[in-house]
Amino acid sequence: MPPRGQPPPASGPGGPRPAVLLLAPLLLLALQGVAAAPAGAGGTEDSPGLQDAELQRGLLQQAARAALHFFNFRAGSPSALRVLAAVLEGRATVNPKKECQVDLVFTTDHYNREDGEERLGKCSARVFFRNQKPRPAVNVTCTRLIEKNKRQQEDYLLYTHMKQLKTPLDVVSIPDSHGHIDPSLRPIWDLAFLGSSYVMWEKTTQFLHYYMAQISSVNQWKTNDDAVDFDYTVLLHEFSTQEIIPCRIHLVWYPGKPLKVKYHCQELQTPEEASGTEEGSAVAPTELNNF
């Protein structure tokens, strides 16, 4: 995923200093793919135009990520996870309260893409960032990547594999230090990513974005009562601060049903922040985004 725009400057003990925000008004940008794109408005000596273009591009990336995390969570389907391919176009507006609304169109790829297979989906989204506060409001719709029956089949297949895993699971980290995930444990990774998507969506701001680095422990894995009851600790990598954030996540999943998630992340302690306790739980959407 291409890089982001304006992160918070040095976060010292006083917490992140107020960042330089976009003051550019409505800017419509057409961007081309992930490859080195022409950097927008041409540059003068200090290239303010160039900077603006870079900042805009970063903000669009942020919005796309937030939208995708939210989309993945809401779809509730570990076999149909998507990743960002490219931002096609977008525009951002900043209001006097420094809140940021981004409208954008982007393409997605299948998370578990098999070699040779390229199935690009297309999404349009509106993302609303509340000045440095987490939980961006997301409205997103995507074209169908996988036909509905096939997706349900694949989810169910994953589910049956999960039920066959011997408990207690004899694993420490997934992947191991060398990036290896045993094929039999792959469904666990996918489900963990689904749960983490909820957490990463909630935590994403204009400036902070996350990747799932590793499952550091599986605390509980139960598959009685039909649903998968999964309690695990995941290490999230926040890119602009480079911090590793352990999050304990508890999810309940059954194919076709909305995902239920509770979590608690260990935030960096700074004198001004309250000790990080966050809880979110999935509100069962009244309509499943079937497509």
Partner 1 sequence: MKWILFFGALIGLSICGREKFFGDQVFRINVRNGDEISKLSQLVNSDNLKLNVWKSPSTFGHPMDVLVPSVSLQLVKSFLKSQGLEYSVTIEDLQIYREMNSIAGDFPELASRVKIGHSFENRPMYVLKFSTAEGRRRRPAIWLNAGIHSREWISQATAIWTARKIVSDHGKDPAITSILEKMDIFLLPVANPDGYVYTQTQNRLWRKTRSHNPGSPCVGADPNRNWNASFAGEGASDDPCSEVYHGHHANSEVEVKSVVDFIQEHGNFKCFIDLHSYSQLLMYPYGYTVKKAPDADELDKVARCAAKALASLSGTTYQVGPTCTTVYPASGSSVDWAYDNGIKYAFTFELRDTGHYGFLLPANQIIPTAEETWLGLKTIMEHVRDNLY
Distance between CA atoms of residues 157 and 151, nearest Å: 10
Does residue 18 have a cis peptide bond before it, meaning omega lies within 30 degrees of 0? no
By beta-carbon proximity to partner 1, the closer residue of 30 and 137 is 30
Distance between CA atoms of residues 182 and 12, nearest Å: 40
By beta-carbon proximity to partner 1, the closer residue of 35 and 283 is 35
- Per the CB < 8 A criterion, the answer to whether 254 and 226 are in contact is yes
Q: How many residues does this entry show for the chain?
A: 291
Nearest distance, CB of residue 150 and partner 1, angstroms? 23
By beta-carbon proximity to partner 1, the closer residue of 66 and 252 is 66
By beta-carbon proximity to partner 1, the closer residue of 124 and 241 is 241
- Closest by Cα among 159, 162, 58 to 102: 58
204 binds partner 1 (CB under 8 A): no
Q: Considering only residues 21, 24, 27, 39, which one is a binding residue for partner 1 as defined by CB under 8 A?
A: 39
Tokens of 142: 């995507």
Q: Considering only residues 21, 105, 235, 282, which one is a binding residue for partner 1 as defined by CB under 8 A?
A: 235
Distance between CA atoms of residues 49 and 61, nearest Å: 18
Binding track over 95-114 against partner 1, x by CB under 8 A? ----------------x---
278 binds partner 1 (CB under 8 A): no
Q: Considering only residues 31, 51, 92, 208, which one is a binding residue for partner 1 as defined by CB under 8 A?
A: 51
Q: Considering only residues 149, 224, 242, 275, which one is a binding residue for partner 1 as defined by CB under 8 A?
A: 242
Footprint (CB under 8 A) of partner 1, residues 9-38: 9-13, 33-37
275 binds partner 1 (CB under 8 A): no
Task: Tell how far CA 257 is from the center of its chain.
Answer: 20
- Per the CB < 8 A criterion, the answer to whether 129 and 99 are in contact is yes
Total residues at interface with partner 1 (CB under 8 A):
48
Rg (CA), the chain: 20
Footprint (CB under 8 A) of partner 1, residues 171-200: 173, 175-180
By beta-carbon proximity to partner 1, the closer residue of 111 and 128 is 111
**Quick one: which H or E segment has residue 124?**
strand 121-130
- Closest by Cα among 25, 20, 1, 22 to 9: 20
By beta-carbon proximity to partner 1, the closer residue of 50 and 105 is 50
